[in-house]
Amino acid sequence: MYSFYDFLPDPRPGHVQPAVRLLVWEPGGDVVRELGVHPLSHVSNVSLSSVDADERHVALVTATGAAILEAGPPGAATWRELGRVGGEGAEAYPIAVLSPDARHVAWTTDGSEDTRCVERAGGAVVWRANFYPGHRGGRSTRRLMFDPRGEHLLALCVRSLYGPERDGRVEVTEERRLQSYAVTDGSRTHAALEAATLGLTCLAWHPDGQRAAIGTGEGEVVLVAYPGGERLAGQRVFAKGGTTALAFDREGTRVAAGSEKGEMAVLAVDAGK
């Protein structure tokens, strides 16, 4: 299953309609089926859809909340929608992610001051939080994810920090920070992990749930312990550009990395680390 944003034809000359498309690929017969198209005024490229660990439920962004779908069998032309959760404020740049146990959905918009953790069944709001309290500059939520046990919600938050003015120009730097919240009550957690991963560009969970790989702006791939953040191994993979994407194979013996320059690499993961 995968999703992406696209542009639909518009009867008005010179106009297009942004939309989210949800598709599924079936290895048997190498068939791709489109399961739905949902128009949105402005589409994010972050967490448009996600699936639970049992691959039974899917959360998909729409203009009226996160649609919860029941995964259908191979060959199904449509997947049954069970409901929509999350609530208002989703018309522009929405982000949604489903927890591994399918109990919760995190729902927000890119850079929003209001992120909600809601129950997948029924849509009751468990808690809501502002990822950027007191910050008045630029901000962006680059990634939203639950940890493998579904006990914590993590967000890769980017803030623009403004420095002194030099030669008529204000110096601007970018702070990239991983923020963790307990699913039970929204309390901020994992301070050590946040400090250890400051500046990360991306993250992927190892299948064992006890480790994670992070990317850096210097083209590194670093293996850290979860939740403590201790550095276990690291390697600079790309000579130019930062690491922008990471993914482990199902066995956790390899990790694939992609760079902002369009390069890719596959690294072996030491079982002892």
Nearest CA to 221 out of 194, 248, 195 is that of 248
Contacts of 110 (CB under 8 A, 6+ apart): 44, 46, 93, 95, 140, 141
Pair (215, 160) in one structural domain: no
| Structural domain includes residue 138 | yes
pTM: 0.90
Q: In the chain, how many domains are there?
A: 2
Distance CA 94, CA 42 (A): 8
Pair (75, 180) in one structural domain: yes
Mean pLDDT, rounded, for 9-20: 85
| Structural domain includes residue 76 | yes
| 163-217: pLDDT as tens digits | 888 888 888 888 999 999 999 999 999 999 999 999 999 999 999 999 999 999 9
Is the pLDDT at 264 greater than 90? The verdict is: yes
pLDDT band at 224 (very low <50, low <70, confident <90, very high): very high
Q: Which of 155, 189, 223 marks a domain boundary?
A: 189
| 85-143: pLDDT as tens digits | 987 655 578 899 999 999 999 998 887 889 999 999 999 999 999 999 988 888 889 89
pLDDT given at position 120? 95
Burial 41-76 (b: 16+ CB within 10 A, else e): eebbebbbbbbbeeeebbbbbbeebbbbbebeeeee
Residue 190 vs residue 9, higher pLDDT: 190
| 60-89: pLDDT as tens digits | 998 888 999 999 999 999 999 999 998 765
Distance CA 66, CA 50 (A): 10
- The domain in which residue 95 lies consists of 2-189
Q: Tokens 């400051």 belong to which residue? A: 198
Pair (36, 125) in one structural domain: yes
Strand (E) or helix (H) holding 253: none
pLDDT given at position 13? 85
Contacts 24+ apart (CB under 8 A), 219-222: 219/243, 219/259, 221/246, 221/255, 221/257, 221/267
Pair (140, 10) in one structural domain: yes
Distance CA 66, CA 89 (A): 11
| Structural domain includes residue 50 | yes
Question: By percentage, how much of the chain surpasses pLDDT 90?
Answer: 68
Distance CA 63, CA 78 (A): 19
Most confident of 25-34, 40-49, 173-182: 173-182
